[in-house]
Structure 1
Amino acid sequence: MTSYEAELVVERRESAADGVLALTLRHPLGEELPSWEPGAHIDVVLGPGLERQYSLCGDPSDGRAWRIAVLREPDGRGGSSYVHEQLGQGDKVRVRGPRNHFELRPAPRYRFIAGGIGITPILPMLTAAEAAGAEWTLLYGGRTRGSMAFAEELSRYGDRVRFAPQDETGLLDLMSVLAAVSEDTLVYCCGPGPLLDAVEEACPSGRLHVERFRPKLQESGPDDEFEVVLERSARTLTVPAGVSVLDTVRAAGVEVLYSCTEGTCGTCETDVLEGTPDHRDSVLTDEEREAGETMLICVSRCLGKRLVLDL
């Protein structure tokens, strides 16, 4: 699996809302950046052990600029503080990607739901839905009106966008959006875990697409030892209890792409040639889990004694 990797320059820093910083990234030599589709994200390497994933929220037709937005989280793990406090205008930052596990599928109608910084992958989806002539609405919630990023940008869509600051309207009225979702309507949602959990309970899974910034608590099988065969490397390894496939493979000197190590970004997705994965990620759909053709090796394990992977 290959991935674009380069050092890009922070061309512009601008406030997108209270506590939200938007960054425009460009190649230092003005080179074209890889194309991307709505829902894509990139890995941003901020320093040793400090790597984060951010959704691309700019214009996919602009091949020379990538835009991301970063919410400052004072109680976070340090990534957002670094971006807000240390990553300055003209600085360079290493990025990888883009990757997309939140693709916008064709449909005549969409219902978009965003909570807080979850608006970022939704923004380019609105542009794409508009260009396709689809019928769509967006329900957008946040703590306060001032904390809701890109509100001015969204205002051009008129009453198709419903702003719902919690301090003014309370919790999002999800049933007003989901109660009458027709069979030809797809629902896309991104935001904090409790919002996604509520939407998943209220919406048929076949019509719902979500992206999580934090891993979802998963029911899983036992944490037993098992064998993993690396087909291309002609290696057979033992994955001990309590150790991930990813860590086992890397300890054996096999290079693999990875990023979040939490099962949320999809970077380490690997083809499964034999065996049944015990899926513990927050990325794959129910259909993809049932098929068992791929797995995220940073968190998922084996329902059995042996897996054969395309590594």
Structure 2
Amino acid sequence: MTSYEAELVVERREFAADGVLALTLRHPLGEQLPAWEPGAHIDVVLGPDLERQYSLCGDPADRTAWRIAVLREPDGRGGSAYVHGQLGQGDKVRVRGPRNHFRLEPAPRYRFVAGGIGITPILPMLAAAEAAGAEWTLLYGGRTRNSLAFTEELGRYGDRVTVAPQDEVGLLDLPSVLDGVPDGTLVYCCGPGPLLDAVEARCPGGILHVERFQPKAQVSGADSEFEVVLEQSGKTVTVPVGVSVLDTVRAAGVEVLFSCTEGTCGTCETDVLEGTPDHRDSVLSEEERAAGETMLICVSRCLGKRLVLDL
């Protein structure tokens, strides 16, 4: 899989809310950046073994700049602390992408639900839905009003946006926006795991699209050893119990793009030529899982004894 990769300059740092830092990135020579669609994210390489994915939340029509927003997480794994504390204006940062597993499908009506920093992929979707003349609403919640990012930008949409800080109104009123939606409506949701779980419990799978920042708990059978044939490389490897396909393939000297190693970013998605994957990711839809044409090799395994991958 090919991917754009470059060092971009942090042109601007500005706080979009308490604890949420928005960064504008540009090419140092003024070159245009790759086109992207709402729902896309980029990989940001912050240092050795420190790489994170952030949704693009600017204007897809602006090919001169990418905007991301990063929530400061004191108990995180170091990425947000680095961005907030060490990545300064004028610094360069290596990025890869964009990639998109959260595309906005055409529809006459949308219901958007965002929690906290989950507003980032939703923000450009609203502009796209508006431009397409679709009917839509957004329910946007977070801990406090000051913690909700980009509320000034959202103000232009008037009463189609409901801002619901938890300390003022309690938990999001999901039934008000999800129960009895008309035919043809698609629901898009991004935010913390409990919110996504609650939305999934109220929505039929066919109308719901979600993006997770943390891996979803998977119910899988016992692990077993299996064989993987790497079609392009002409190699065959054995994947032991407790070792991922990704790690086994890399140990065999085959280079593969990867990032999160948790099954949430989609970077390591690989074509399956033969065999049945045991999908354990938080990216692929139920339809994509049933088709079995691709798998995320950082977490997924094999339901049989043999896979043939396009590597």
TM tier, shorter chain? over 0.9
2:105 partner amino acid:
R
Question: What is the match of residue 59 of structure 2?
Answer: 59
1:126 aligned counterpart, secondary structure: helix
TM-score (norm 2): 1.00
Tell me by how many angstroms 1:87 deviates.
Answer: 0.2
Runs of 4 or more above 3 Å deviation: none
The whole-number CA distance in structure 2 between the counterparts of 1:124 and 1:117 is 14
Tell me by how many angstroms 1:7 deviates.
Answer: 0.2
Question: What is the match of residue 93 of structure 2?
Answer: 93
Question: What is the match of residue 291 of structure 1?
Answer: 291
1:59 aligned counterpart, secondary structure: coil
The whole-number CA distance in structure 2 between the counterparts of 1:38 and 1:241 is 38
2:81 aligned counterpart, secondary structure: helix
The whole-number CA distance in structure 1 between the counterparts of 2:300 and 2:174 is 31
Tell me by how many angstroms 1:223 deviates.
Answer: 1.0
| 1:232-311 matched pairs, under 5 angstroms | 232-311=232-311
TM-score (norm 1): 1.00
1:117 aligned counterpart, secondary structure: helix
Question: What is the match of residue 3 of structure 1?
Answer: 3
1:184 partner amino acid:
G
The whole-number CA distance in structure 2 between the counterparts of 1:182 and 1:206 is 13
1:94 aligned counterpart, secondary structure: strand
The whole-number CA distance in structure 2 between the counterparts of 1:118 and 1:187 is 14
1:211 aligned counterpart, secondary structure: strand
1:140 partner amino acid:
Y
Q: What do the CA deviations read for 1:225-259 (whole angstroms, capped 9, x no partner)?
A: 10000011111000000000000000001011100
2:22 aligned counterpart, secondary structure: strand
Question: What is the match of residue 170 of structure 2?
Answer: 170
Question: What is the match of residue 104 of structure 1?
Answer: 104
Tell me by how many angstroms 1:222 deviates.
Answer: 1.6
2:133 aligned counterpart, secondary structure: coil
Tell me by how many angstroms 1:221 deviates.
Answer: 1.8
The whole-number CA distance in structure 1 between the counterparts of 2:273 and 2:29 is 41
Q: What do the CA deviations read for 1:190-225 (whole angstroms, capped 9, x no partner)?
A: 000000000001001000000000000001122111
The whole-number CA distance in structure 1 between the counterparts of 2:142 and 2:97 is 28
The whole-number CA distance in structure 1 between the counterparts of 2:76 and 2:229 is 37
2:15 partner amino acid:
S
Size of the alignment, in residue pairs? 311
The whole-number CA distance in structure 1 between the counterparts of 2:32 and 2:222 is 47
2:177 partner amino acid:
V
The whole-number CA distance in structure 2 between the counterparts of 1:42 and 1:234 is 31
Structure 1 residues not aligned, in runs of 5+: none
Tell me by how many angstroms 1:183 deviates.
Answer: 1.9
| 1:21-100 matched pairs, under 5 angstroms | 21-100=21-100
The whole-number CA distance in structure 2 between the counterparts of 1:101 and 1:301 is 20
Tell me by how many angstroms 1:94 deviates.
Answer: 0.2
The whole-number CA distance in structure 2 between the counterparts of 1:293 and 1:182 is 32
Question: What is the match of residue 133 of structure 1?
Answer: 133
| 1:193-232 matched pairs, under 5 angstroms | 193-232=193-232
Tell me by how many angstroms 1:91 deviates.
Answer: 0.1
Question: What is the match of residue 152 of structure 1?
Answer: 152
Q: What do the CA deviations read for 1:92-149 (whole angstroms, capped 9, x no partner)?
A: 0000000000000000000000000000000000000000000000000000000000
The whole-number CA distance in structure 2 between the counterparts of 1:253 and 1:221 is 29
Identical aligned residues as a percent: 86
RMSD: 0.4
1:75 aligned counterpart, secondary structure: coil
The whole-number CA distance in structure 1 between the counterparts of 2:261 and 2:183 is 36
1:286 partner amino acid:
E
2:137 aligned counterpart, secondary structure: strand
Tell me by how many angstroms 1:182 deviates.
Answer: 1.7
1:85 partner amino acid:
G
The whole-number CA distance in structure 1 between the counterparts of 2:220 and 2:296 is 14
The whole-number CA distance in structure 1 between the counterparts of 2:68 and 2:200 is 26
1:194 partner amino acid:
P
The whole-number CA distance in structure 2 between the counterparts of 1:296 and 1:61 is 30
The whole-number CA distance in structure 2 between the counterparts of 1:232 and 1:277 is 19
Structure 2 residues not aligned, in runs of 5+: none
The whole-number CA distance in structure 1 between the counterparts of 2:293 and 2:181 is 30
The whole-number CA distance in structure 1 between the counterparts of 2:134 and 2:295 is 33
Question: What is the match of residue 187 of structure 1?
Answer: 187
Tell me by how many angstroms 1:181 deviates.
Answer: 1.1
Question: What is the match of residue 20 of structure 1?
Answer: 20
